[in-house]
Amino acid sequence: MTKKILCIVAPIYNESLSLADFLEKLSTEADDIQEKFSIRVDYIFVDDGSRDDSFSLLREYDFGERHVRLLQLSRNFGKEAALSAGIDAADYADAAVLMDADLQHPPEMISDFVRIWLTEGADSVYAYKSSRRQSEGLMKAALARTFFWVMNRNLRYKIHQDAGDFRLINRRIMTALRSLPETDRFMKGLYAWVGFRQVALPFQPPPRLRGTSSYNPLRLLSMTLDAITSFTTTPLRLMAMAGIAIATFSAAYGIYVIIQHFFFPTVPAGIASVLALIAFFGGIQMIFLGLLGEYVGKSVLEAKKRPIYILAEDISRGEDALEDRG
């Protein structure tokens, strides 16, 4: 019987500070897993157009016997695109583990993923942050809740609120993910959308030790808007419902004003309230139009059908690596 193959897929963007540490910890873990479950563990690292020397570090690293594929994207395409490149390259594997290269995804968890995949027949095993609420501010937690409330309006599939990209996905899920044509890839949503049997494991992400997170609050906000508009049309529905509510209320108010005019004539309320109302509804219309524009813009971008990423380098390491892939 040939051994099952597991690919560790990690996107890498400006991680030269933590890379050596990551590779060392990962290799200890990978060796353990190979022995314990008698499977083969390969690596696929995708350099997402790093501006530091991450890729040359990878290129010069001694991986020993391990089968390693080093991909470099032609520029920074974003983590989701880098992950997609990795999943595409892992087409020969039985399963892939997606993880960050900054050691915020503890390699020790991979063996739990593998155990559940092999013994319980799960199609995917993913980690979720068990104590997000305490570690993040009230404000951020409230925003996240609103976000997932909007996202999870539909009842057919649910996006796990506290899960990230740290997960094992088997061949079926990889094939399903590859078949999704969109250029704008909100991975958390796509994992949930494809379905299959998925098992969640709690974990406590450690703080980033070296380097800085690529995501500041502004970028997170814009990604949130992106995620919502690329995954659900619930906001459009909410807009229509708000319109109906406001129209109903205005009509009722109109009737009230007419009745008042004929039966209880009083002094008119003045121009300030009218101005306030005009400004208010002007603002609401602007927000709604802007949101509508987001959706239209998104369809324009998707209609171009551009590839998700462009490769600049593709290096294979390890004996008969190419043969296995053929």
Residues binding ligand UDP (CB under 6 A)? 11-13, 15, 48, 76, 78-79, 82, 100-102, 104, 213-215
Shortest separation between residue 214's beta carbon and ligand UDP, angstroms? 4
Of residues 58 and 173, the one with the C-beta less far from ligand UDP:
58
Residues 64-103 that bind Mg ion (CB under 5 A): 102
Q: What is the largest CA-CA distance in the chain?
A: 94
Answer with the entry of Mg ion, ligand UDP, none that 79 interacts with (C-beta below 5 to 8 A by kind): ligand UDP
Angstrom CA distances, 149 to 136, 141, 153, 199, 225, stand at 18, 12, 6, 22, 14
Give the pair of three-digit tokens for residue 154: 């539909």
Shortest separation between residue 162's beta carbon and ligand UDP, angstroms? 13
> Binding to Mg ion by residue 214, rule CB under 5 A?
no
Sheet holding 95-98, edge to edge: 198-203, 124-129, 163-170, 95-98, 5-12, 40-47, 68-73, 311-317
Of residues 11 and 107, the one with the C-beta less far from ligand UDP:
11
* Count of residues that bind Mg ion according to CB under 5 A: 2
Of residues 76 and 224, the one with the C-beta less far from ligand UDP:
76
Of residues 218 and 271, the one with the C-beta less far from ligand UDP:
218
Of residues 22 and 113, the one with the C-beta less far from ligand UDP:
22
> Binding to Mg ion by residue 104, rule CB under 5 A?
yes
Shortest separation between residue 206's beta carbon and Mg ion, angstroms? 10
Answer with the entry of ligand UDP, Mg ion, none that 234 interacts with (C-beta below 5 to 8 A by kind): none
Q: Around Cβ 135, how many Cβ atoms within 10 Å? A: 12
Q: Mapped to the 3 state alphabet, what secondary structure does 217-279 carry?
A: HHHHHHHHHHHHHHHCCHHHHHHHHHHHHHHHHHHHHHHHHHHHHHHCCCCCCCHHHHHHHHH
β-strand pairing of 5-12 with 95-98 = parallel
Of residues 83 and 122, the one with the C-beta less far from ligand UDP:
83
d(CA 189, CA 187): 5
Answer with the entry of Mg ion, ligand UDP, none that 93 interacts with (C-beta below 5 to 8 A by kind): none
Answer with the entry of Mg ion, ligand UDP, none that 78 interacts with (C-beta below 5 to 8 A by kind): ligand UDP
| Residue written as token pair 């997960």 | 167
What residue ranges bind Mg ion (CB under 5 A)?
A: 102, 104
